[in-house]
């Protein structure tokens, strides 16, 4: 098998379901890469190894029982603008350091229900307000792994280098003014975003290291009208 981080998210999911690799092994692999490169890239604000490994163990037990959701066992980083129950959420501002939400945001709730393993919170610009990602929360500004002298984009600045450098697996993003459609040098190679309308708020989207990976996501349940 290739290095685990060289596999696309779709390939990782297939390997998990075939029990060729465990979620704990995959999660430990990404935690080691975050520890090595995360600060230098400005990719993560908060990392939760204990919570991540506990979730990975739960995912492995679910896989052993044949209980498979869309993303069971797949490690993901969550953008720090998204509320995560039990995990610090700062929205990129020092004023919210230490805030631990009691509930997940809608998008995070879908990802959790789909079986994803959260390794931590990816860096975001302060309150999502700028097209670059430098704040007073993360150790360093988010930079592109292709040239560390250049900023990553924003406001999903941490998710871009995290995926591009295979540090944190994939990551959900939100696009208000262009975070996810930024061209690959920006560096969001697997970005996908809903069409924008003005005036607008922000639209959930997916970021990953390959073009195929954004399709591996939970979908909103469909309802039938009477």
155 tagged catalytic: yes
- Torsion angle defined by CA atoms of residues 176, 181, 185 and 189, in that order, rounded to the nearest 10 degrees: 120
Q: Give yes or no for a contact between 37 and 77, defined as CB atoms under 8 angstroms apart.
A: no
79 tagged catalytic: yes
Q: Alpha carbon 89 to chain centroid distance?
A: 14
Residue of 23, 79, 121, 153 marked active site: 79
Residue of 23, 155, 156, 205 marked active site: 155
Cα–Cα distance, 104 to 71 (Å, whole number): 17
Residue of 22, 152, 153, 179 marked active site: 179
121 tagged catalytic: no
Q: Please report where in the chains the tokens 């610009």 appear, as a residue.
A: 125
Q: What are phi and psi of 193, to 5 degrees?
A: -140, 145
Torsion sign over Cα 163, 166, 170, 172: negative
Strand partners, 44: 122
* Cβ neighbours, 10 Å, residue 184: 13
Q: Give yes or no for a contact between 136 and 93, defined as CB atoms under 8 angstroms apart.
A: yes
Q: Which residues are catalytic?
A: 79, 155, 179
């Amino acid at each position: 098998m290739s290095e685990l981080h060289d596999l696309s998210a779709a390939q990782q999911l297939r390997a998990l379901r075939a029990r060729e690799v465990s979620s704990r092994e995959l999660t430990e692999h990404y935690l080691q890469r975050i520890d090595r490169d995360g600060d230098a890239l400005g990719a993560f604000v908060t990392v939760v190894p204990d919570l991540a490994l506990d979730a990975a163990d739960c995912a492995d037990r679910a896989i052993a029982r044949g209980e498979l959701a869309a993303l069971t066992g797949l490690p993901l980083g969550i953008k720090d603008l998204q509320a995560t129950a039990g995990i610090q959420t700062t929205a990129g501002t020092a004023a919210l350091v230490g805030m631990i939400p009691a509930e997940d945001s809608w998008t995070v709730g879908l990802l959790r229900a789909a079986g994803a393993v959260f390794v931590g919170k990816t860096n975001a610009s302060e309150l999502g307000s700028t097209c670059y990602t430098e704040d007073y929360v993360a150790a360093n500004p988010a930079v592109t792994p292709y040239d560390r002298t250049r900023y990553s984009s924003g406001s999903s600045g941490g998710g871009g280098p995290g995926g591009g450098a295979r540090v944190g697996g994939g990551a959900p993003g939100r696009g208000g003014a262009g975070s996810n459609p930024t061209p690959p040098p920006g560096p969001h190679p697997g970005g996908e975003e809903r069409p924008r309308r003005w005036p607008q708020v922000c639209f959930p989207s997916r970021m990953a290291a390959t073009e195929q990976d954004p399709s591996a996501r939970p979908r909103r349940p469909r309802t039938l009208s009477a």
